[in-house]
Structure formats: C-alpha cells, structure tokens
Homo-oligomer: A and B are copies of this chain.
Amino acid sequence: MSRPVIELRSDTFTKPTAGMREAMMSAEVGDDMVGEDPTVNRLEARVADLLGMEAAVFACSGTQSNQMGIWAHCQPGDELIIDQSGHIANYEAGAPAVLSGVSVRRLPGRMGLLDLDQLEGQIRGGNQHLAPTRLLCLENSTNLGGGQTYPLEQIARVSEWAHGNGLKVHVDGARLFNACISRGYEAADVAKHVDSISICFSKGLGCPMGSILVGSEPLIQRARRARKLFGGALRQAGIVAAAAEYALDHHVDRLADDHANARAFAEAIADIPGIVIDVEAVPTNLVFFDLQREFGTAADLSAALKEQRVNINPTGAQQLRACTHLDVDREGVLRAAEAIRECLAAGL
C-alpha cells in the first residue's frame, strides 16, 4: 500500500475536515441573493465585527474579493500601485484591466512589502496623459515575497502616506491570519489603518471555497454590485459560509503549527548539499528555496519528489516553494525534507 502524498504545493489544497463538513451539512440556509441566508449574514457580520469595519460581503474566491475591491474603489482609467510580486498584479489573470479598466503599476518592494522609500514620488495624476493613481494594494502576508508580514507600524506609515495623497488602501489578506498569528497582532489592528481587506477561506483556513471583503458600508454596497456582475452572487451560500465560520472557530490559532512546520522544514533542508535557503526568511507557512544549478533544475527536483509522493512546485528555473497547512503535520514536512535529501543524493 502506498504512502499518502505529502502535499506542499499550496495551502489551497486543504480539504475540509470532518468537523467542517459537519458544519456545512447542518448549516441553516436561505436565498442570499435577497439577503435571506442566515449563515452568510452571520458570517459577514462576524468578520466585519472582528475587523472593526462597517460591513463585509462573502465572495467565491480570493481573486473575486480582490477584484470586487478594485471595482469598488476605482473608476476605469485609474491606476493601482502594488509590489511587483503581488498576487493581484500577477496571478489574477489580468482581471483589473478586464473587469475594472484599471492599470496595475508594479513597484519593487522588499520581499513583497512596500515602504515609504518605494512609494514616495510614485503618485500620478493632474495631467491627462497619466492614469491617476487611486489605490495602494498591500499583501499581508506576501505570497511570492516568501510569506513575509507587515509590521503594524509599516502598515500605519504607508497607509497614512496613501491617505494623505488621496489614495485608498486595500489589503490582499488572503493569508491575513498567518500574518496576525506570526506578528501577534489582531486583524482589527491592521484593518483600522486601511479601507478594505480581503480574506481567503480556502487557503490555510481549510475551506473548500470562499473569501470575504470587508470595508465601509458604501464600499461593500458597491462591491456587492460587482459581485453580481461577476456572477459571484449565490443562492444558499450558507453551506459554504458555514465552513468559513467553522474555520474562524477552529483553524486560526492552529496556523502557528503551520509556521512551526515551515520553519522545521526549512531547517531540515538547510544543510542538504545543493539546497540554498535563508531559514530566517521563513516567518509564516511559505518556504522558498533554491537548487544549485549543478544539481539540476527546480523542475527536475519537483518531478523526482513527485515520484516519492512529495508534491512541491517549482517557482523558477532554480527555485521551489513549499507551503505548509493543516493537511501536513510535522512528520510530513520532515519526510518531505528527507525525500529532497534522498533525491539530490541519488542525483536528478
């Protein structure tokens, strides 16, 4: 009998647990298109309250909640600025242009994080040749930036700068709770500085689908309209909202385990010949590491690991990303590290 796969490609691969399935099965539902789904209503109110913001709207996916935010904040022809590695800028299929007519300008931050030295002087407008800068997007924690997190002071600082310059601030908080757990701050501590936050339920929180956008009442009303336009307004959405409620109850604090497992994995591979990694640069659940060219390519290593039933994606010619989550425990990450050692020892 074959060993189970160790799935480190992404925390999106998390599957609903028995408890979460039970919560979904017993969810009270109604037609959310007319505001009658009690579970959705409760979830939206809860998350708005948790973040100390006025309103929230459930969405199908993180891409959808981000794009609803962009649609609601911007007008066609506007520009948003974002770190060059940002998910919105790179992994949402070019949606800002298609759905909102919004241009994306990438700035070179540090590991996905933006600070004043990258932002100052970057606002455009007042000249009809330019797309006016309307929105600053921050990612917390970062994805391609390596799971880095914003210190609260930095969020306060860049948001103050943005607001002082007439911009709105949206946080792509697909992994917001990873940042909260890692930094020890509350989601509301972040929210009080910014204009909207999206949170994804289908990643580390373990849900099958779902996301939520939180902000002011008028913003969320506009976002609801965007959701309908995008085909994201659902009927008995309480079924999936119940998973999100369950996740908020049971899967937030445990993100600390994912972080510890990521660090353990990083440490376990750090001394493998051919592997280059900065163990200190693993604050949350994402572990980026490089393979030295003479040992083969990232794609080679990924393929070899797959035969060992370890799934890790290449993210560059020589770079790979491992992502921990609730379906992988300490033993799993250590076995994955061991598989890397064996693959490289055997040669790719």
Contacts and interface: CB of A to CB of B under 8 A. Distances in A.
A302 to B, nearest CB: 14
A209 B58 CA distance: 14
Contacts of A232: 60-61, 64, 230-232
Contacts of A65: 231
A97 interface: yes
Interface stretch (A235-243, A249-257, A290-298, A339-347): A235-243
A67 B229 CA distance: 9
A208 B238 contact: yes
Given A91-B130, A208-B236, A239-B208, A63 B15 contact: no
Residue among A12, A13, A209 with the highest chain B CB neighbour number at 10 A: A209
B60 A60 contact: yes
A77 B64 contact: no
A55 interface: no
Nearest to A316: B121
A231 B59 contact: yes
Contacts of A103: 94, 96-97, 103-104
Nearest to A36: B13
Nearest to A131: B94
B236 A16 contact: yes
A39 to B, nearest CB: 11
Contact of A128 (B33, B238, B239): B33
A225 interface: yes
Given A93-B77, A99-B230, A230-B64, A239 B16 contact: yes
Nearest to A206: B236
Contacts of A101: 76, 94, 97-98, 101
B75 A233 contact: no
A299 B106 CA distance: 27
A168 B33 CA distance: 29
Contact of A229 (B77, B102, B105, B121): B77
Given A15-B29, A25-B24, A238-B208, A99 B99 contact: yes
A66 to B, nearest CB: 8
B15 A228 contact: no
B128 A224 contact: yes
Contacts of A240: 208-209, 239-240
B231 A230 contact: yes
Interface in A187-237: 202, 207-209, 224-225, 228-237
Given A76-B98, A121-B317, A128-B224, 4 more contacts: A61-B234, A76-B76, A93-B129, A104-B104
26 contacts: A9-B34, A13-B31, A14-B236, A33-B128, A61-B232, A63-B233, A68-B231, A75-B75, A76-B98, A77-B98, A90-B129, A93-B129, A93-B228, A94-B101, A94-B103, A95-B231, A97-B102, A128-B225, A128-B228, A202-B234, A207-B236, A208-B234, A208-B238, A209-B235, A209-B236, A230-B230
Please provide the 7 A-B residue pairs with the shortest distance between their CB atoms, ordered closest to farther. A64-B231, A94-B131, A208-B236, A97-B97, A98-B101, A94-B103, A91-B129
